[in-house]
Structure 1
């Protein structure tokens, strides 16, 4: 069986990103609330790849341009272009791994698998790395095709309804309590106020997406600890589950093209709670983003 460990980095990548998000919160911004444009989640303009997990989150959050499309220096050069002088790069994060056998000798993945299959033990050492990408606004000499944005509010709502309708083995959606939106794991019910009670359709769907993300943690779905085990308000487990739901709603908002910029509720107490948990665990944002991506993929049937 392979054991996972993580190597301490000279530069703490986890802390660097967490510090950037903390600065956003301290400035009064709720960073996982979708504020990006209707171009949707960030993508690589050279390959069309849509970034997921923490990369989808940060490439939209820290994008200073209207269109969140990116490419690397090498990709721009291969397409006959170049990067503008003084352009600011963003990071795309990924994990690399190497393996050791019981004696501590370096082995490759195939050798590790063979040893595991024979009942031996190996060690997998995973470490976080990154590469740089640039927004297409900072790329010269490359023509990038961007979609025409002609969506109407009705069409955006239709896109949201398609996500709701496509959620297989979903909880029962009820309107039993007009004053609250919540997911109840014991009965596997998702309660929502009526659409007409919200200031905008976007606010309704953002709230619904939040509760739908919670519901993926049910034991019959992704069996996530934040849902299957009761947690006290503001505890680490409670905070992590709420962060997963917030980010899941943001990812689904990006998928459907709705903008929640007008729906932000930045109460001081709420933001103070997030500061506390992020300062205590600098890997939390990576863990929550990964779990949120799994939840969204489950809802979308991926």
Structure 2
């Protein structure tokens, strides 16, 4: 089981370990005996007479040398590091199992975040109450699910210590929600070339950040603002007008670089062979939001093209009804929800029960699939929104220069007026970073011209 949401006093609810005393308790007991029948040398007192004279002393000296970096590392230290990694993997597996179980139950009830409609401007995706940054990927999806199940109207979340440092506290009895993150660096004592600790001006050991050989997966508990008291929170920012969101969506569609054709009929799909999206005529949709959602869904498929994100679930899918096909649909639908909220156009789901059974089966076979799908969906949304911003910046740069040339200015200038200082040259705006492309990575599936069709009536709730 995952550890309790609110730990006893002194426990570290931000990470996966306890306090420094608890984490270092084993090492401290080895050095000081800690009332366990050991002396400072690490040898049981009742066995001292059976040990050759000086052995315990030499062991203590050797341990001290190792702590100062002057000797080989102790085997037990490696084992302890391995135990930490094993414990982290165990917590990650528990997290994935719990996440998948909750999503499966929500899918059966039709209550998964991407299965429910959302009004334009309505926010369900979570962000940090202090920094304002959005939670991403699987964490965003899991927090959104918990917020829906518990009826939270506030999308802001924060860590236990973060809330305390901001002057608030978590109400007694409230349960936190786990999120998972990867720690790529670790902090350790800085040492010189001789292996001695580097001290600062006050004689304290300096610490430095170093890259881990292997990333460490950690689980942290966060709390919704409706679970807290004593915080001085700003009012949630009101959503802009709906038409602004739809204008951004149109800019996103144009800036995606994907050909979009409107054809009378009831089919909406992405063709990888032609690299184009086919949509019904605009007038066939029940609302502008329904059209936008369908376009975002199909553009989500298009991002998996080998020259874009090269997503295996698109490139290697086995056609309608296959497991890979259902996994690709899951990614496109979650991405459409994420992008729709970030644009402010809401979310109008079109999937009914067509894929639910396949999604449930995929999650039962691999509990990590839901987090992988959420991570891919986040990448899809980021890719599309980046193109929308790039197009907006490009349109600003292409505005015509309406200044007159020098000859015209000479004719219009009053000779009795003194010359003004020359106009400073306009600085060109920085070019947007180019997304790396890999045209060489083309697969047989790309050449075969597979399509991602979407079945059913466009205006209906299912397909």
Residue matched to 1:29: 111
Residue matched to 1:299: 384
Structure with a larger share of its residues in strand: 1
Residue matched to 2:290: 203
Match status 1:9 vs 2:97? no
Write the mapping of 1:94-243 to structure 2, written as runs, cut at 5 A.
94-96=181-183, 110=211, 112=213, 124=214, 126=215, 128-167=217-256, 170-243=257-330
Taking the aligned partners of 1:111 and 1:253, their CA distance within structure 2 comes to: 37
Match status 1:38 vs 2:118? no
Taking the aligned partners of 2:122 and 2:212, their CA distance within structure 1 comes to: 46
Residue aligned with 1:131, SS: strand
**Count of equivalent residues:** 273
Identify the structure with bigger relative contact order (alpha carbons < 8 Å, sequence gap 6+): 1
Unaligned stretches of 5+ in structure 2? 1-84, 187-208, 388-463
Taking the aligned partners of 1:111 and 1:138, their CA distance within structure 2 comes to: 35
Residue aligned with 1:62, SS: helix
Residue aligned with 2:336, SS: helix
Please provide the CA RMSD for this pair: 2.6
Taking the aligned partners of 2:372 and 2:217, their CA distance within structure 1 comes to: 13
Residue aligned with 1:301, SS: helix
Q: CA deviation at 1:229?
A: 2.7
Match status 1:283 vs 2:361? no
Q: Are 2:313 and 2:328, in contact at CA under 8 Å, matched by a contact in 1? A: yes
Residue matched to 2:139: 55
Match status 1:88 vs 2:170? no
Taking the aligned partners of 1:66 and 1:40, their CA distance within structure 2 comes to: 8
Q: CA deviation at 1:226?
A: 2.2
* Cα pair distance change 1:263/1:229, threshold 3 Å: closer
Write the mapping of 1:59-78 to structure 2, written as runs, cut at 5 A.
59-63=143-147, 64-78=151-165
TM-score (norm 1): 0.81
Q: CA deviation at 1:13?
A: 1.6
Q: CA deviation at 1:134?
A: 1.0
Residue aligned with 2:173, SS: coil
* Cα pair distance change 1:221/1:82, threshold 3 Å: same
Q: Are 1:80 and 1:142, in contact at CA under 8 Å, matched by a contact in 2? A: yes
Taking the aligned partners of 1:111 and 1:77, their CA distance within structure 2 comes to: 30
Q: Are 2:175 and 2:223, in contact at CA under 8 Å, matched by a contact in 1? A: yes
Q: Kindly name which structure, 1 or 2, has the bigger radius of gyration based on alpha carbons.
A: 2
Q: CA deviation at 1:177?
A: 4.7
* Cα pair distance change 1:265/1:221, threshold 3 Å: closer
Residue aligned with 2:248, SS: helix
Q: CA deviation at 1:98?
A: 8.7
Residue aligned with 1:129, SS: strand
Q: CA deviation at 1:154?
A: 2.2
Residue aligned with 1:178, SS: coil
Residue aligned with 2:220, SS: strand
* Cα pair distance change 1:293/1:273, threshold 3 Å: same
Q: CA deviation at 1:273?
A: 2.0
